[in-house]
Amino acid sequence: MKAKMLPITAVVALALGSVSASAVDFHGYMRSGLNYGSQSGNAYCFGNGNLGHLLGRLGDECDTYAEISLSQEVYNKANNKFTVHTLVAYGSNESNWDEQGNSWQGVGKGGDRAGDNGTSAWNGQRLSFREAYVDYEMPSGITLWAGKRFYQRKDIHIMDFYYLNNSGHGVGLENIGVGNLGSLSFAIIKQQVDMEDVGAVYGWPDNSRSNSAMNSYKLDARWNGIPMWSDATLDVALIYAWQKMSKAQKDVYHNNTGFLGFIEWTQGNFFGGFNKLSFAYGTDALDYAGVLNGGNHLGDNVIPYDEDGSGFRVIDWGVVEQSKWNLGYAVLFAHKHAKNANWSHPSGNDWAFVLRPSFKWSDYTSTVLEFGYTNQKNTGWNGWATPDKNRVSATKLTLAQQWSPATHFWARPSIRVFGSWLAGDLMRNEYTGLSHNKQHEYILGAQVEAWW
């Protein structure tokens, strides 16, 4: 046995020794903290997951989340480069209340200390490979890639809102130059949906053959960096999505295709920062371009059943950076026209805005104020507390003192202590224990956020 193992050990040792440790590209992100609520045992947060933080994320994050990214260039000869990329993510169970648990215990839904299914102390935690792909950069600069990855995502950081995010398993070509007119990228990316879970939510027939996994596929074309005037560029994206169904699934569900068009103007050198203005239009399986609550990660999800409608979204956001202060801001408006509202989002408008000004006291400390407001059509996604209203709204105000290695807007790590006031229809009373006429809460807390 030893005779067989020694050559393998030697090969591994040689392989490890042939790669310089400094060649490993190490990046990451993390956030974690504590929240103390005034009204109930659970500290409440408005936003999480696909909802995003429509009122701003500062003082409104009830989870621990971390990403560790390791990339290695494994081959480089005559400008032919092969690089392996991996990203592992960990997070406590996301919900509208604090479920972070102790250092050794997972916490499941409803505070079940044994985990989601009561079988393990770790079931309430999430650990996954978010990225596992390889790219090949050719001498021309064109890159071929395959695997699982975050694909050219666009997000508003102060809201943790991904307004374009077609990520998943796929293959594609990037950085195809078109002279001085930017670059093209093409990809096909797959999404898989567990139809048994979908059927349970919508009361569809219990048919084991039709409730198996369903794959959706998305053709993605991008034209990025189109030059305009000084410090200004234009990005364009087109996505077409469709489902691949089995015969049994076709007997229960309707094939649902969708189209998404996206255009964004970026103005650099904008009062020391930048401004981004975008417009998105989606149809049928991608018509949730027309909603905000449940409309995070646009392009990521394909509605896996008959959805007949259209929607559009306009977003303006950016950062202003000055010597003594800075400002992050975002304004969002969405409209959906539903001909067949199977996805519980009828026709209507949603809008939200967030302002985050910061005053710099020194090179290491600043005071931050974040104010957010949203007003939405009452749907099955957000009307749990006030079923008698046509529209629902919510407000959040957070004051924080933070310490960072610099005071520009993007300086991290940042240690913060904060106080928040949350109020409005979007507070779920079954989580907070509040009556309908007392939908407000004060939160005190501390948090660290870092990227590197």
Q: What is the pLDDT of residues 253-271, one digit of tens each?
A: 777 899 999 999 999 999 9
Residue 121 is predicted with a pLDDT of 38
Looking at the chain, the number of H-run helices and the number of E-run strands are 4, 20
- Answer yes or no: is pLDDT of 325 > 80: yes
List, for residues 352-409, the tens digit of each pLDDT value.
999 999 999 999 999 999 999 999 998 866 766 567 788 889 999 999 999 999 989 9
Q: Tell me what the pLDDT averaged over the chain comes to.
A: 84
32 occurs within a structural domain:
no
Report pLDDT for 62. 86
Indicate whether 304 pLDDT > 50: yes
Q: Is residue 210 pLDDT above 50, yes or no?
A: yes
What percentage of the chain exceeds 90 in pLDDT?
A: 58
| Reported confidence tier of residue 193, pLDDT bands at 50, 70, 90 | confident
Average pLDDT, stretch 206-232?
86
Which range has the worst mean pLDDT, 47-51, 285-289, 330-334? Answer: 47-51
Q: Say which CATH number the domain at 382 has.
A: 2.40.170.10
**pTM over cut 0.75:** yes
Q: For residues 324 and 125, what is the distance between their CA atoms, to the nearest angstrom? A: 41
The total number of structural domains that make up the chain:
1
Separation of alpha carbons 165 and 156, rounded Å: 12
Please report the pLDDT score of residue 22 as a whole number: 43
Q: Which residue has the higher pLDDT, 326 or 36?
A: 326
Residue 436 lies in a domain: yes
pLDDT score for 18: 43
In a domain, 391, yes or no: yes
Min mean pLDDT across 137-146, 218-227, 385-394 is at 385-394
Residue 340: per-residue pLDDT: 72
Q: Is residue 350 part of a domain?
A: yes
Task: Determine, yes or no, domain membership for 371.
Answer: yes
Residues in Cβ contact with 275 at an 8 Å cutoff, skipping those fewer than 6 apart: 266, 267, 316, 317, 318
Decide if 44 contacts 37 (C-beta within 8 A).
yes
Structure tokens belonging to residue 55? 């009122």
pLDDT of residue 100: 66
pLDDT for 204 equals 56
The residue type of 356 is: R
Q: What is the pLDDT at residue 63?
A: 85
Residue 58 included in any domain: no
pLDDT of 313 strictly over 80: yes
Residue 165 located in a structural domain: yes
Residue 133: pLDDT band (50, 70, 90) is: very high
- Tell me whether residue 347 is in a domain: yes
354: containing domain: 133-451
Q: Exposed, middle or buried by CB within 10 Å (0-12, 13-18, 19+), for 126?
A: middle
- Number of residues that make up the chain: 452
CA 280/CA 238 separation, integer angstroms: 10
Q: CA angle, corner 279, sides to 336 and 56, nearest 5? A: 80
Neighbouring CB atoms inside 10 A of 133's CB total 21
